[in-house]
């Protein structure tokens, strides 16, 4: 009897563990998004088919290119196109593109980073910095094609025509506005308490810039560097207008080497496209994590 009483009291004191009932799955959740999946597969085909065509065509000879189905793989893959590209001063064009890209991206990113820091940290109380920020935003509205004639005349007056520096300086100018906008927004998301703690410890603005803001904005710096590097690497208009001699050609202009008077060696052109794309693929592979972090930082907050 005592045992029964104890069991009853325990039951009264501690109610049984009742878990909330699971919500019934709705039929809509179990349905597949066929429309979205179909659109995704169509977009994958649109992206993959041109890449597949470029690679297989670069392995064909010029005679087989016109005789076979364009999407058919080569029956006898050959590396003659890549050999002819490498023997046609490809190394010179590659080095010119590297010099132009590095010479424009590094100064543009550094200047944009310091300008973005100055605008965020001192723009609220400085009319001059607010005016500079507006000037950078106005630069986004001016396309390169609209300023090519003034840029050409300035380069002629500076006697820099037909040099790599003539390509580097305008590339820096057109890369700075967007870089300042991206980096300034990223620096704005850094908590102000971190800057105040650095200032209380006696750090100068220059030290705060490189020891606090620089490490925290590394994803944005990588993102801006890759975007500007890709844009300048594939640039065609500035090298076409501001250079003339074959020694100053970049890789996009080097494609003209395989264009004859009565025809174009399409497999050789595509082989040069594959070789010119490899550095971009390597750059993306090295900075992939930082790039994705910089692109998605605004959605994770």
Buried b (16+ CB within 10 A) or exposed e, 272-300: bbbbbeebeeebeeebeebbebbeebeee
* Cα separation, 73 vs 240, whole angstroms: 34
Tokens of 282: 């390597």
pTM: 0.78
pLDDT for 10: 47
Phi, psi angles (nearest 5°) of residue 259: -105, 110
Domains of the chain: which residue ranges?
A: 46-78, 89-299
Residues in CB range of 206: below 8 A, 6 or more apart: none
Mean pLDDT by groups of 10 residues along the chain of 301 residues: 45 51 50 83 92 91 82 85 86 93 95 91 72 84 89 94 94 93 88 86 87 88 89 92 90 75 76 87 74 52 44
The token duo for 144 is: 């390169």
Which tokens is 4 given? Answer: 């029964």
Per-residue confidence (pLDDT) for residue 120, from 0 to 100:
86
pLDDT of residue 56: 92
At residue 193, the pLDDT reads 87
The C-alpha atoms of residue 9 and residue 7 are separated, in whole angstroms, by 5
Largest CA distance in the chain: 111
Report in angstroms the alpha-carbon separations of 80 from 13, 54, 57: 87, 15, 12
Residue in 230, 281, 226, 224 with CA at minimum distance from that of residue 251? 230
What backbone torsions phi and psi does residue 264 show, to the nearest 5 degrees? -130, 135
| SS3 label, residue 264 | strand
Which superfamily does 89-299 belong to?
MetI-like (1.10.3720.10)
Residue 223 CA to chain centroid, in angstroms?
6
């Amino acid at each position: 009897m005592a045992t029964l009483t104890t069991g009853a009291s325990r039951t009264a004191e501690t109610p049984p563990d009742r878990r909330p009932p699971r919500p019934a799955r709705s039929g809509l959740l179990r349905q597949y998004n066929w429309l979205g999946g179909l659109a995704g597969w169509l977009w994958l085909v649109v992206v993959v088919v041109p890449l597949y065509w470029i690679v297989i065509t670069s392995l064909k000879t010029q005679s087989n290119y016109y005789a076979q189905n364009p999407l058919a793989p080569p029956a006898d893959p050959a590396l003659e196109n890549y050999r002819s590209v490498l023997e046609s001063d490809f190394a010179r064009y590659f080095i010119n593109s590297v010099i132009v890209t590095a010479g424009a991206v590094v100064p543009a990113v550094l200047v944009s980073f310091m300008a973005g820091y100055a605008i965020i940290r001192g723009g609220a109380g400085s009319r001059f910095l607010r005016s500079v920020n507006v000037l950078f935003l106005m630069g986004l509205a001016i396309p390169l094609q609209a300023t090519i004639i003034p840029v050409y005349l300035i380069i002629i007056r500076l006697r820099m025509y037909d040099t790599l520096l003539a390509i580097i300086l305008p590339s820096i100018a057109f890369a700075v506005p967007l870089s300042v906008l991206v980096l300034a927004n990223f620096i704005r998301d850094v908590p102000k308490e971190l800057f105040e703690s650095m200032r209380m410890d006696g750090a100068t603005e220059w030290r705060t810039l490189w020891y606090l803001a620089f490490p925290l904005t590394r994803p944005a710096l990588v993102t801006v560097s890759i975007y500007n590097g890709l844009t300048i690497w594939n640039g065609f208009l500035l090298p076409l207008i501001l250079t003339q001699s074959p020694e100053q050609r970049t890789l996009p202009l080097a494609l003209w080497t395989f264009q004859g008077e009565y025809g174009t060696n399409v497999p050789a052109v595509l082989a040069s496209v594959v070789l010119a794309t490899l550095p971009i693929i390597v750059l993306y592979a090295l900075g992939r994590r930082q790039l994705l972090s910089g692109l998605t930082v605004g959605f994770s907050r």
